[in-house]
């Protein structure tokens, strides 16, 4: 039967929803049960400015960890902030209680699975909101050391900012990008975020000074406040960034990039090649390459492509099927098959168009093999001992 061709421009599959991390959910449920609540049920996962929020619906009267008994149907949620699980009660009695009560924590592996996926950017408040006030107060007056400790606390657990020993890498919401030009982008993001953090500290400090009636204490607090940085100039952020390298250095980071052979980073998510499922972009996949092509779904009709492939291969069904498998195999990172493919034929028979199509679809995953891989020019010297093979190293 004929396939129905979509009307209008092709549409990708619906944007993938955040995959519910099973291990994290089970940990959250266990911690809720440990408070004595075994009747409430998990409802949904939503993303808040402070991190992932696991929303629960109550089944009736309950006691909450804050020591109150609630007869109504006030739901509650558990906020994941870094590795901490914080209980958020929606009742009128508990809603304004601060700090939020910690009812448990995630393991390191669980924290990675349920981690933040938002881009590293100046307007990202989730990294700032995840800071604990006591931690910030302890380091805010310690110059470059304090600034580097605060930034490291913001990004150490979510892996959206890393230094590989030579360059800074940041997560742009879809992949990791190397900040090659003197870390201009990283500096811009961090100076804006530190300005926000330090402005909050300054406002709180000024409020404390105004509340204090003792003149000597006021004077001491005022002198202390003078030590607080503003992060309004590049000199301050540049010196802080030097120390931050040691806080966020990861010497194996570059080796982890694009190392998973069973995923393909596409424009609208991460395609899991073994299952055909589409997940959201996550830093934990360590992708630096991307196809810039949307995944349209396994059953999406491709009449134009079918006609083109059939035409250039003379409608040889067996050959067309082999070529499809060959292209599919080329998209994964495995090298089990020892295959060297040559496209033969006279000019104008589709070889160039096929190559251009593959290049457009594969994006960063497409590479041009150096002729040095198969031929050696007269007089060409062999690489020195232990030196990388140029065309493979690049």
| pLDDT tens, position by position, 104-162 | 998 866 776 667 788 999 988 888 888 888 899 999 999 999 999 999 999 877 789 99
- Please indicate, yes or no, whether residues 339 and 270 belong to a single structural domain of this protein: yes
Q: Is 386 within the bounds of a domain?
A: no
Q: Which of 240, 256, 272 is the last residue of a domain?
A: 256
- Please indicate, yes or no, whether residues 66 and 180 belong to a single structural domain of this protein: no
- Provide the domain limits for residue 61: 22-113
Q: How far apart are CA 224 and CA 32, in angstroms?
A: 42
- Please indicate, yes or no, whether residues 36 and 153 belong to a single structural domain of this protein: no
Beta bridge partners of 53: 46, 79
Q: Is 10 within the bounds of a domain?
A: no
Q: How far apart are CA 265 and CA 297, in angstroms?
A: 14
Residue 375 corresponds to which tokens in the numbers above? 């031929």
- Please indicate, yes or no, whether residues 247 and 158 belong to a single structural domain of this protein: yes
- Percent of the chain surpassing pLDDT 70: 90
Q: What is the DSSP letter of 100?
A: P
- Please indicate, yes or no, whether residues 177 and 241 belong to a single structural domain of this protein: yes
- Please indicate, yes or no, whether residues 159 and 250 belong to a single structural domain of this protein: yes
End-to-end CA distance of the chain: 47
Write down the mean pLDDT value for the chain.
Answer: 87
Higher-confidence residue: 48 or 359?
359
- Please indicate, yes or no, whether residues 134 and 252 belong to a single structural domain of this protein: yes
- Please indicate, yes or no, whether residues 67 and 134 belong to a single structural domain of this protein: no
- Please indicate, yes or no, whether residues 167 and 104 belong to a single structural domain of this protein: no
Q: What is the pLDDT of residue 133?
A: 87
Q: Please, where are the H alpha helices in 249-302?
A: 253-256
Q: Find the mean pLDDT for residues 1-18.
A: 52
Which letter, b or e, does each residue of 1-40 get, where b requires 16 or more Cβ atoms within 10 Å of its Cβ? eeeeeeeeeeebeeebeeeebeebbebbbebbeebebeeb
Q: Are strands 168-171 and 161-163 parallel, antiparallel or unpaired?
A: antiparallel
Rg value, the chain, Cα: 28
Q: How far apart are CA 86 and CA 177, in angstroms?
A: 32
- Please indicate, yes or no, whether residues 133 and 237 belong to a single structural domain of this protein: yes
Q: Which of 236, 256, 276 is the last residue of a domain?
A: 256
- Please indicate, yes or no, whether residues 252 and 285 belong to a single structural domain of this protein: no
Residue 32: C-alpha distances to residues 20, 105, 115 (Å): 17, 11, 20
Q: How many domains does the chain have?
A: 3
């Amino acid at each position: 039967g004929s396939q129905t061709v979509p009307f209008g421009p092709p549409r990708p599959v619906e944007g993938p929803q955040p995959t519910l991390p099973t291990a994290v959910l089970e940990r959250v449920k266990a911690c809720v049960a440990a408070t004595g609540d075994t009747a409430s049920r998990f409802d949904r996962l939503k993303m808040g400015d402070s991190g992932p929020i696991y929303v629960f619906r109550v089944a009736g009267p309950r006691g909450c960890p804050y020591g109150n008994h609630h007869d109504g149907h006030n739901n509650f949620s558990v906020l994941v902030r870094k590795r901490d699980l914080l209980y958020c009660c929606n009742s009128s009695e508990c809603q304004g209680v601060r700090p939020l009560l910690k009812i448990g924590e995630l393991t390191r592996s669980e924290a990675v699975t349920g981690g933040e996926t938002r881009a590293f950017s100046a307007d990202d408040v989730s990294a700032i909101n995840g800071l604990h006030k006591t931690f910030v107060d302890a380091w805010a007056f310690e110059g470059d050391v304090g600034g580097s400790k605060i930034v490291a606390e913001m990004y150490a657990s979510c892996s959206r900012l890393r230094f590989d020993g030579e360059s800074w890498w940041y997560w742009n919401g879809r992949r990791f990008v190397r900040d090659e030009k003197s870390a201009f982008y990283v500096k811009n993001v961090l100076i804006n975020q530190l300005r926000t953090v330090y402005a909050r500290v300054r406002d709180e400090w000024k409020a404390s000074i105004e509340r204090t009636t003792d003149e000597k204490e006021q004077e001491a607090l005022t002198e202390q406040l003078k030590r607080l940085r503003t992060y309004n100039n590049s000199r301050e952020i540049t010196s802080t960034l030097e120390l931050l390298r040691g806080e966020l250095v990861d010497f194996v980071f570059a080796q982890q990039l694009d190392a998973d052979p069973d995923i393909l980073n596409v424009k609208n998510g991460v395609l899991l090649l073994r299952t055909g499922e589409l997940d959201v972009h996550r830093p934990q996949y360590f992708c630096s390459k991307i196809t810039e092509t949307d995944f349209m779904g396994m059953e999406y009709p491709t009449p134009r492509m079918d006609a083109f492939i059939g035409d250039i291969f003379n409608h040889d069904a067996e050959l067309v099927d082999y070529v499809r498998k060959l292209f599919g195999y080329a998209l994964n990172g495995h090298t089990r098959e020892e295959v060297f493919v040559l496209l033969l034929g006279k000019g104008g028979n589709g070889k160039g168009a096929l190559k251009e199509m593959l290049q457009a679809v594969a994006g960063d995953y497409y590479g041009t093999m150096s002729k040095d891989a198969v031929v050696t020019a007269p007089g060409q010297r062999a690489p020195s001992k232990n030196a990388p093979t140029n065309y493979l190293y690049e």
